[in-house]
């Protein structure tokens, strides 16, 4: 899978990414949730989107009551850092859900697992690698 890794100062939020020159319309954020039943759910969506928790839970096959945003220490269980969450995760049982809008993003900039490295990749290659569930996650 062709991609480019860009090393930079650690990113904490979307504003930091914009300061590094990444175009907002190409930023793919990954939010990490704990699922009381089955470990973790990763939600990937355009950086300007906001997750509808009910839709995410339904897509992930669980209930809204069982989802909670993961804490920084939870990310370590996935081999990730705060500010660097990635839609690519090799931990067994992790459910990955992409917002339907992601399909139209072209080349995206997403987390690598580290806050100081961003991955640029064609979204079709990313989809092929991750094989996510798709749903309308944004509210």
CATH number of domain containing 78:
3.90.960.10
Spans in the chain with pLDDT lower than 70: 1, 14, 38
Predicted model pTM:
0.93
Number of other CB atoms surrounding residue 123 within 10 Å: 19
Q: What confidence score (pLDDT) does residue 20 get?
A: 79
Q: What confidence score (pLDDT) does residue 115 get?
A: 93
Please, is 86 exposed, middle or buried when counting C-beta atoms within 10 Å of its C-beta (0-12, 13-18, 19+)? buried
Q: What confidence score (pLDDT) does residue 1 get?
A: 60
| CA 133 to mean position of chain CA atoms | 13
Q: For the chain, how many structural domains are there in total?
A: 1
Please, is 66 exposed, middle or buried when counting C-beta atoms within 10 Å of its C-beta (0-12, 13-18, 19+)? middle
Distances (CA, A) of 119 to 18, 26, 34, 53, 132: 15, 11, 24, 26, 18
For 86, the domain range is 3-135
Do the Cβ atoms of 87 and 115 come closer than 8 Å?
Answer: no
């Amino acid at each position: 899978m062709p991609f480019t890794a860009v090393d930079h100062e650690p990113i904490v939020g979307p504003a930091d990414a914009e300061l590094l020159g990444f175009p907002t319309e190409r930023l793919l954020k990954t939010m990490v949730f704990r699922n009381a039943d089955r470990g973790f759910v990763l939600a990937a969506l355009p950086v300007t989107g906001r997750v509808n928790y009910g839709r995410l839970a339904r897509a992930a096959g669980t209930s809204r009551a069982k989802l909670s945003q993961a804490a920084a220490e939870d990310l370590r269980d996935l081999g990730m850092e705060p500010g660097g969450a990635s839609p690519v995760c090799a931990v067994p049982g992790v459910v990955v859900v992409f917002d339907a809008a992601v399909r139209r993003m072209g080349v995206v900039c997403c987390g690598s697992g580290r806050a100081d490295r961003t991955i640029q990749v064609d979204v079709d290659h990313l989809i092929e690698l991750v094989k996510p569930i798709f749903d309308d996650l944004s509210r």
